Amino acid sequence: MNASTEFTNPQQVKSPLRKHVVTETTEMAAETTLLDPRFYTTDFDEMDRIDVSPVRGEWDRLIAQMKSDPNKKHFKKTDAWDEIDWEGMEPELKKELIDFLVSSLTAEFSGCVLYKEMKRRGTNPDICELFSYMSRDEARHAGFINDALREAGIGVNLGFLTKAKKYTYFKPKFIYYATYLSEKIGYARYITIYRHLEKNPDKMIHPIFKWFEEWCNDEFSHGEAFALLMRTDPKLTSGYNKLWIKFFLVAVFSVMCVRDHQRPAFHKALGIDIDEYDREVLRVTSEISKQIFPLELDLENPRWEAGLVRLRAAFTDLDSAKRRGGIGGFFGKQVASLRVAKNFVGLYLLPAKKNVVPESSHLVPAY
């Protein structure tokens, strides 16, 4: 069986939206559960009213750097792009590698869709310029991953995805917290994998990882932009909004850990210990986020990791209850959902550490 027949689901052609056969990878990308990357929509008019004057100097520097487009030629295949033997790959690894690529593609494309929409709807030249550069970058990132999937005959239909995927509405401030963190955690993930493979080139299971070094600099800059947007209004990072910041820190960090543990074969093939990797990625992201957030999670607290283990177990049970179905599955789902909620609240209630935010949020990629 070749990869393209394996991932084709002809039953899906019935829907009016589906003029062509939709591959299973497109279905995977279109799914929106608690753990999948989401597509967002927001109050674009409110975002369009942002006045960047309070951070003008740093803003202009960042925009000039984005305009210079340092990665213009980066997302092209070169001789360094080795052939992948998809047919000969161990099935579990193949499944998890595809899951990793599809999930990364969905996250990249989610940014592209949101940023492009902001640029399309906006009238504020500062905001439109920023969002046009960021959507340009994310379109390249998503396109590059999709090329890798196409090689295996399982490319995602992005046009279809734009129409079929559910959109989650977030107020602009929630977009800032969530997107800032996903850009910075994206940077930390890509650079940690890249540095690991630099030391362990025999673990290069797919050539796409060779592109991660320059790639993650784009994510870093996008995070810098959201830090500046938040600095235009001090209310966004003070008062009761600190509770929301803590919520997003716990949500983004814990979801990453749960998702990573769902790919044991993938991490084993990369020679990555998932716990160590997650610890490092969270440490880096937490350190970076001190540029703008007035609090940081206490990742050293033993109750943090113990809570994550319980949260993961609850998600695993939720997953098996869903698959079991029937009355037993139904009750199993209710119980596991309660455990997910209880353990999430437990993580949220752990005391956070105060952080004194520096005068300037400016940082350079240093990992």
The residues of the shown chain that bind Fe ion, judged by CB under 5 A, are 108, 111, 138, 141, 183, 219, 222
Query: Which of residues 59 and 180 has its CB atom nearest to Fe ion in the complex?
Result: 180
Helix (H, G, I), strand (E, B) or coil at 2: coil
- Least distance CB 223 / Fe ion (angstroms): 8
- Least distance CB 111 / Fe ion (angstroms): 5
Q: DSSP labels for 147-206?
A: HHHHHTT----HHHHHHHSPEEE--HHHHHHHHHHHHHHHHHHHHHHHHHHHH-GGG--S
Q: Which residues pair with 44 in a beta bridge?
A: none
- Least distance CB 141 / Fe ion (angstroms): 4
Q: DSSP labels for 52-117?
A: -GGGHHHHHHHHHHHHH-TTTTTSS--TT-----TTTS-HHHHHHHHHHHHHHHHHHHHHHHHHHH
Query: Which of residues 106 and 237 has its CB atom nearest to Fe ion in the complex?
Result: 106
- Least distance CB 121 / Fe ion (angstroms): 19
Query: Which of residues 59 and 75 has its CB atom nearest to Fe ion in the complex?
Result: 75
Alpha-carbon distance of 103 to 109, in angstroms, equals 10
Between the CA of residue 121 and those of 63, 107, 117, 164, what are the distances in Å? Answer: 19, 22, 6, 21
Query: Which of residues 155 and 307 has its CB atom nearest to Fe ion in the complex?
Result: 155
C-beta atoms surrounding 291 within 10 Å: 20
Q: Which residues pair with 39 in a beta bridge?
A: 167
Query: Which of residues 22 and 191 has its CB atom nearest to Fe ion in the complex?
Result: 191
- Least distance CB 127 / Fe ion (angstroms): 16
Query: Which of residues 111 and 122 has its CB atom nearest to Fe ion in the complex?
Result: 111
